[in-house]
Structure 1
Amino acid sequence: MEDWKKYLHQTKPVTQLLKDSIIVIDTNVLLAAYQWREVTVNEVLNALQKIKDEKRLRIPLQVIKEFSRNRPHEIQQRINDLDTLISKLQKEKPLIERVPMLEGKDSLKVIEELRANYNKAVKDYRDGLINLRDHLKELFYNDHFLDKIMKLAEGTILLPEQTEQDLEKEAKERFKLKLPPGFKDSSKEENSAGDFIVWSSILQLKSNVVFVSGDKKPDWVYQDSKKNPITARRELVEEFFIKTGRDFAHITPKDFITSLNPAVSEHVKEDLINYKTINQQNLSRKDKENINNDPFLKYQMVCERISFLIEELCIKNNITIGESVYTNLVSLVKRRIISEGIRDEIEFILKINKDLQLSIMDGLDVHFAIRLGEQCIETLTAYLDFLDF
């Protein structure tokens, strides 16, 4: 081939390449399992096993490292999501406290019965969420998905040809030139060279390659107006062809699975689209930073967390949850679960919450309450950890 023609090379359609090419999977495909329904996870595992049986599956060692590093955070995030949901569940107080003039009325009795049923439903729902959360905690030492990944990865690992230090050095040089992939991660404090290290592993392959990834960053793919991937960047296709004489293509998990199984359910398709990659989750962490920068929002979250932990202590000690957090505090002190000093501090924090609603407090009060509240959270968490131990 004349030298200039390599710049005008056109790859085959990805649907055609899928039939006989090497399939390389990205880290986000594995991590997404902790956000998908079981039916979706099984669909993906079955597809990857089929590819492996055809001796066409490859997993870069870098992908395994990133999966191992980020897997605990994925599980932790799911636990935190449930904690947030649980903390928002609130029982309804007796209506007589709001409208005492209705005492003795038949209409109030009917409403009170409905309130009691509602509170029971809330408790049952809460108990169910707590059981789910405890099940998630078990994944740290009993994870069937991890076992399946270990079997799937056996005999498919792509080892790097260079040392990690050499690859990181090369990545920095490419970042300066804005060469894809990975230059969008150049500012990351950790694993900034991760995408390039994966790419360097792909460049070792001497056959057509389809890269299955949920990464939508413009240093991997071209995007449509809705930021959905269209196809792999020209620079990547060109570099791969110049080095190997073969074709490289990028495909999303959804397109990968539906190409192999067009009859897949709509629920599975929905899962394959609606999940957050590592980079997207890093963006959500910025939202948390915004909360940290807003003391009033952070203070409200501290109060919610304290209320949640107090109810947790009641449940762990077989104490009937009362009508208010103050009732629960009294019960915990009587049983000597918490000290009177901790109770006084929590009541002080909650008093500030009332003052906040009445707009009779300033920023200094809020910052002090946050610091005190965080100390109380640590103490209450320690009590719970002791009970679990």
Structure 2
Amino acid sequence: MEEWKKYLHQPNPVSELLNDSIVVIDTNVLLAAYQWREVTVNEVLNALQKIKDEKRLRIPLQVIKEFSRNRPHEIQQRMNDLDTLISKMQKEKPLLERVPMLEGKDSLKEIEELRENYNKAVKDYRDGLIKLRDHLKELFYNDHFLDKIMELAEGTILVPEKNEQDLEKEAKERFKLKLPPGFKDNSKEENSSGDFIVWSSILQLKNNVVFVSGDKKTDWVYQDNKKNSITARRELVEEFFEKTGKDFAHITPKDFITSLNPQVSEHVREDLSNYITKHKVEDSVLLPVISYLELEKVISRLFVLIQELCRKEDIIVEGDVVKALDSLFESRIISIKTYGEIDLILKINRDLDIGLLSENDFEVGWAISKGKDCINSIIKYLQS
């Protein structure tokens, strides 16, 4: 083939290529299963099984390695999400402790009954969340999704032609020239060559290829003004055409599934659109800090440390952070200052949750800053 032709090559639309091309799956598609509803996971698994039955599915060995390495972290994050919810489940103390002047009022008895019902509902909800967290923990030992991936991977693995050291060396040379894909990961401490190793595996194929990936980095795709993927980078299309004479296309998980099954529900479409892929912020442009998420992280960390503190002091609290705080304070393990600050942080988070505060309010910034101080204080105590 004359080299100049690659510059003018027009690939077929991905909608046409999807009918008979080799389909290659990226790591983020597999990891996203731990963020999706079960119905969405089943849609994806059914689609992959259909492609495999047609002998068109390929999974790079690098994808399997990355999936294996990151899967425990995905499960752990879901458990942390539940722990954050559990930490917010606060029982209401008797109203007389807050407003003693109400003693003897006729309406107090009715209010106290409502409070008791509320506390029972909170306990039931918290107990349910704890059971769900325990169910997630079981995924480390009994994961049906992992079993299914094992079945799909059988006979579909793309093994690199070169060893890992040679591929990493080649990746570094490409990074210097800003050749896609992967140069956006050049600064990563771990697995900076991962995208290129996947690409090198794709280049081994001799058929048209559709790459299913949620990766939106600009060393893989062009983006619209909303950061949505449009199509594969021209450099990738040209390199694949020069090496194989065939077409390469990039497609998002949502477009992949809806192309195969246009009747999927809105819930599935929502999942396929909204899951989070882990990638670095591009071109040193920092995303704005979201106070709500930052505060949740602080509270989640506080909750874990409070649990550790209770275990160290043989205090049984059964996941109730308010009861834990009370017990730690009554045992003089934490000071009245720390107790009051953590109690106020939890109240600020609750007010933020129900809309009484906005993310830009001073109280939220204070809670984040003070929460980090409390974290450091507890860590010092645990290490003493």
TM-score where L is the length of structure 1: 0.82
- Tell me, yes or no, if structure 1 residue 157 matches structure 2 residue 162: no
Give 1:350's aligned residue: 339
Instruction: Determine if contact 2:309/2:382 at 8 Å carries over to the other structure.
Output: no
Instruction: Determine if contact 1:21/1:207 at 8 Å carries over to the other structure.
Output: yes
Alignment of 1:224-263 (within 5 A): 224-263=224-263
- 167-176 or 320-329, larger mean C-alpha shift: 320-329
Residues 1:321 and 1:33: Cα distance change in structure 2 (over 3 Å): closer
Give 2:379's aligned residue: 374
- Tell me, yes or no, if structure 1 residue 183 matches structure 2 residue 183: yes
Equivalents in 1 of 2:297, 2:29: separation in Å? 33
2:256 maps to amino acid: F
Deviations 1:309-355 (A, max 9, x none): 689999x9598979854654589xxxxxxxxxx74346563156589
Instruction: Determine if contact 2:303/2:321 at 8 Å carries over to the other structure.
Output: no
Alignment of 1:172-211 (within 5 A): 172-211=172-211
- Tell me, yes or no, if structure 1 residue 62 matches structure 2 residue 51: no
Unmatched 5+ residue regions in structure 1? 332-341, 358-364, 380-389
Equivalents in 1 of 2:45, 2:337: separation in Å? 53
Instruction: Describe the SS at the equivalent of 2:79.
Output: helix
- 109-118 or 159-168, larger mean C-alpha shift: 109-118
Instruction: Describe the SS at the equivalent of 2:279.
Output: helix
How many residue pairs are counted as aligned between the two chains? 359
Give 1:31's aligned residue: 31
Instruction: Determine if contact 1:6/1:238 at 8 Å carries over to the other structure.
Output: yes
Give 2:76's aligned residue: 76
Instruction: Determine if contact 1:326/1:347 at 8 Å carries over to the other structure.
Output: no
2:171 maps to amino acid: A
Instruction: Determine if contact 1:24/1:58 at 8 Å carries over to the other structure.
Output: yes
Give 1:361's aligned residue: none
Give 1:124's aligned residue: 124
Unmatched 5+ residue regions in structure 2? 346-361, 363-369
Residues 1:157 and 1:145: Cα distance change in structure 2 (over 3 Å): same
Equivalents in 1 of 2:170, 2:303: separation in Å? 48
Equivalents in 2 of 1:179, 1:2: separation in Å? 21
Q: Once the two structures are aligned, what percentage of the paired residues are identical?
A: 71
Give 1:15's aligned residue: 15
Residues 1:11 and 1:330: Cα distance change in structure 2 (over 3 Å): closer
Give 1:96's aligned residue: 96
Residues 1:273 and 1:323: Cα distance change in structure 2 (over 3 Å): closer
Instruction: Describe the SS at the equivalent of 1:142.
Output: coil
2:203 maps to amino acid: L
- 180-189 or 347-356, larger mean C-alpha shift: 347-356
Instruction: Determine if contact 1:305/1:377 at 8 Å carries over to the other structure.
Output: no
Equivalents in 2 of 1:36, 1:264: separation in Å? 14
1:349 maps to amino acid: T
Give 2:147's aligned residue: 147
Shift of residue 107, structure 1, vs aligned partner: 1.3
Give 1:335's aligned residue: none
Deviations 1:226-259 (A, max 9, x none): 0000000000000000000000000000000000
Alignment of 1:332-343 (within 5 A): 343=332
1:257 maps to amino acid: I
2:211 maps to amino acid: F
Instruction: Determine if contact 1:87/1:307 at 8 Å carries over to the other structure.
Output: no
1:267 maps to amino acid: H
TM-score where L is the length of structure 2: 0.83
Instruction: Describe the SS at the equivalent of 1:200.
Output: helix
- 296-305 or 42-51, larger mean C-alpha shift: 296-305
Question: CA RMSD of the aligned region, Å?
Answer: 3.7
Equivalents in 2 of 1:131, 1:157: separation in Å? 36
